[in-house]
Amino acid sequence: MNAIAMSVLLLCALSLFAGTMADRWWLLRAGAPGEPLGNVRERLRSLLVLGFGQQRLLLEKGAGWMHVAIFAGFIVIFTRTCTLIGRGFDADFHLPLLGGDLGLVYAAVKDTFAALVVVAIVWGIWRRLVTRPRRLHLNAEGVLILVWIGSLMVTDILADAALFTLEPGHPERGWAWLSTASMGLFDPGRPVATATWLHVHYWAHVVLLLAFLNFLPFGKHFHVLTALPAVYLRRLTPSGALEKLEFEGRETFGVGRLEDFSWRRILDMYTCTECGRCNDMCPADLTGKPLHPREIITNERDQAWDLADHLVNVGKLKAQGRSAEAAAAIAAKERPALIGEVNDEEAIWACTTCGWCVSSCPVMIDHIPNIIDQRRHLVMMEAKVPAALQNALRGLENNSNPWNAPSAAREDWIGDLPVPRMRDKGSAAYLLFVGCAGSFDSRNVDVMRALVQLLGKAGVDYAVLGREEGCCGDPARRVGHEYLFQMQAPLNIETFKRYDVRKVLTACPHCFNTIANEYPDFGLEGVEVIHHSELLADLVREGRLTLKPGADLKVTYHDSCYLGRHNEVYEAPRDVLGAVPGLTVAEMPRNRREGFCCGAGGGRMFMEEHLGTRINHNRIAEAAATGASEVCTACPFCLTMLGDAIKETDRGEQLRARDIAEVLLDNLA
């Protein structure tokens, strides 16, 4: 077309883009060092499946597929754009392999995807301007970007249509079916006008793309550039595991300023698409609490933009090894407080760590570690602990349980049952880790007694630690008291090692998650952790527990967040219930990965709800609507919260809450 014009355009556009991205890079460097990167094979798999494959969006009907169509079309058309840029220097330019028959096939594919993108964009604009889903931010930028992408599709199609009109024998004519169909827009009898339109659409396409490239780093659509790197660099540890906080050599703990976040957290801020999927089924958001996971990330990103010059300077100082100067610059910078002004302190405490936000984010943003790091700062740096939590934390520190019951009472739940102690047996196939709820909460004591009776009837070789058991530490860690957690965990690990424990059985998903996913950071090795639903399902399947017919019972099952979403144990509890003859399971609309929280996670079990609707009330209404007479669960916290909700909403005559172990025991032959 015009080599000089193309050269000048590329030089200006790419120079501007490089300068902007350099600033974004230095801002990223202002963050603290992140966790080590490794496991390239798994990262590449994530990039293919979650990044290019858009797996999480494909799980969502409707809008998810719309975004996948736009993403795929953009990738396909970008290849075409590279060809068009090359033709600015050589009219016959083709990318490697696309100059022959494969190029003709690509022309057909390209037009097909262009059509899909245009349809998806019309749908997207309709959603934003007409249907207006609750989770969407209705701003002009979203519509602008959709129109911009649509313009790229249209200008490419029309440029080809004009070209085919001028060159009827062009090899791509017919293959590029949408462009061929659009030839009627041009008059073959007016070649000069058609050539002008060819140049207009050609240059419009190139200019629009380069302008789009330079616009992206300044808005929420920066994710177009950062999403794939973010997916590749995502955290590979289980979603229910928090990062170990090293205390040695540190003067501050948690996150009280943007610079305290790791660079990976700042990349999260860059990458947020503002799609609102994280808010969609956030239990705090849906019940009137001030927490909105998306806003946590966007609030932090907005402050990063406000402090961009300062953060770029800090990033450069850190990169040069001038840590003292960087620290001085950080300390001297006046800015709104991250917790209290940028993010609502009530919002930080409202999180139940249910994992919905993390599991639904298409670009792998880690909301929970972000929030817990801010709790760590509040608890360990500012000594700000909600009054309702103080007794639980005191109990953990003094008696190793949040109920603040005497540690000597940890065996009282056993009563007259023949439950073997590890100190007497010396070893066992399974260590039954009872947990604090099973030891001290009267309702969950019943569950634990039911479980050990089932183990006895099935002939399972097990033992408990009794007075030697301490809290797993989950409540302390989730409320941000990392120091207290790191006091609890090593004591249990030392006890496990003393008895050469190889299998840990627990009825508490919080204990399950902590021991399986977090204790390995503190030296626990070679230990398999099993939830009681998994073992019970196996015992029934193997015929070691036989069931009697005639239950005639309709139940609904509530998925625990830490068993389900965080650890993907969905079917084992349902298998246990489904094995009972005559029992039917009526699923709630929100189940399995989309299950709704009971409200107890993240330390909320020991805190009062004083804002909005109670989360457990929301959930029990859904359970009652199924027509079931029982709501079953496999978590002590869920059992307590659902039982409380039944009482508080006067549903005691209609509904009761039970653990799957209790249901199974009642139906043994």
- Rounded Cα–Cα distance for residues 616 and 613 (Å): 9
Residue 146 reports pLDDT greater than 70: yes
The 10s digit of each residue's pLDDT in 283-305 is 999 999 999 999 999 999 999 99
- Rounded Cα–Cα distance for residues 271 and 225 (Å): 8
Secondary structure class of 32 (helix, strand, coil): strand
Residue 60 reports pLDDT greater than 80: no
* Average pLDDT for 221-242: 93
Secondary structure class of 432 (helix, strand, coil): strand
Q: Give me the DSSP letters along 478-521.
A: HTT-HHHHHHHHHHHHHHHHHTT--EEEES-HHHHHIIIIIGGG
- Rounded Cα–Cα distance for residues 335 and 351 (Å): 25
Tokens of 179: 């462009």
The 10s digit of each residue's pLDDT in 176-212 is 999 999 999 999 989 999 999 999 999 999 999 999 9
Question: How do strand 528-531 and strand 583-585 relate by DSSP bridges?
Answer: unpaired
What is the per-residue pLDDT for 426?
A: 93
- Rounded Cα–Cα distance for residues 378 and 362 (Å): 30
> CA angle, 612 as apex, 607 and 616 as ends, to 5°?
60
> CA angle, 45 as apex, 43 and 50 as ends, to 5°?
95
Binning pLDDT at 50, 70 and 90, where does residue 54 land?
Answer: confident
Higher pLDDT, 590 or 132: 590
Residue 328 reports pLDDT greater than 70: yes
Residue 36 reports pLDDT greater than 80: no
Secondary structure class of 547 (helix, strand, coil): strand
Q: Yes or no: say if 537 and 580 are a contact pair by the CB < 8 Å rule.
A: no
Q: Is 40 exposed, middle or buried (0-12, 13-18, 19+ CB in 10 A)?
A: exposed
Secondary structure class of 668 (helix, strand, coil): strand
Q: Yes or no: say if 499 and 431 are a contact pair by the CB < 8 Å rule.
A: yes
What is the per-residue pLDDT for 98?
A: 82
What is the per-residue pLDDT for 1?
A: 66
- The radius of gyration of the chain's CA atoms, rounded to the nearest angstrom, is 30
Four-CA torsion 390, 391, 395, 397, nearest 10 degrees? 20
Residue 3 reports pLDDT greater than 80: yes
Tokens of 120: 């998806």
What is the per-residue pLDDT for 57?
A: 87
Residue 137 reports pLDDT greater than 80: no
- Rounded Cα–Cα distance for residues 257 and 247 (Å): 18
What is the per-residue pLDDT for 28?
A: 95
What is the per-residue pLDDT for 355?
A: 96
Residue 63 reports pLDDT greater than 90: no
Q: Is 356 exposed, middle or buried (0-12, 13-18, 19+ CB in 10 A)?
A: buried
Question: How do strand 656-659 and strand 630-633 relate by DSSP bridges?
Answer: parallel
The 10s digit of each residue's pLDDT in 331-353 is 999 999 999 999 999 999 999 99
Q: Bridge-partner residues for 630, per DSSP?
A: 555, 656
Q: Please list, residue by residue across 287-301, b when 16 or more beta carbons sit within 10 angstroms of its beta carbon and e when fewer do.
A: bebbbbbbbbbbbbb
The 10s digit of each residue's pLDDT in 518-575 is 999 999 999 999 999 999 999 999 999 999 987 789 999 999 999 999 999 999 999 9
Mean pLDDT computed over every residue of the chain:
93
Q: Which of 131, 142, 120 is nearest to 64 (CA)?
A: 120
Tokens of 537: 């399902």
> What are phi and psi for residue 566, nearest 5 degrees?
-75, -30
Q: Give me the DSSP letters along 553-578.
A: EEEEEPPPTTTTTTT---HHHHHHHH
The 10s digit of each residue's pLDDT in 412-465 is 999 999 999 999 999 999 999 999 999 999 999 999 999 999 999 999 999 999
What is the per-residue pLDDT for 197?
A: 95
- Rounded Cα–Cα distance for residues 548 and 262 (Å): 56
- Rounded Cα–Cα distance for residues 487 and 524 (Å): 15
Sheet with strand 656-659: strands edge to edge: 583-585, 553-557, 630-633, 656-659
Q: Which of 528, 510, 429 is nearest to 471 (CA)?
A: 510
Higher pLDDT, 100 or 410: 410
Lowest mean pLDDT among 136-145, 161-170, 419-428, 615-624: 136-145
Distance of CA 167 to the CA centre of its chain: 52
Q: What is the largest CA-CA distance in the chain?
A: 101
What is the per-residue pLDDT for 251?
A: 85
The residue behind tokens 């204790």 is 519
What is the per-residue pLDDT for 630?
A: 97
- Rounded Cα–Cα distance for residues 363 and 55 (Å): 10
Tokens of 391: 């007794």
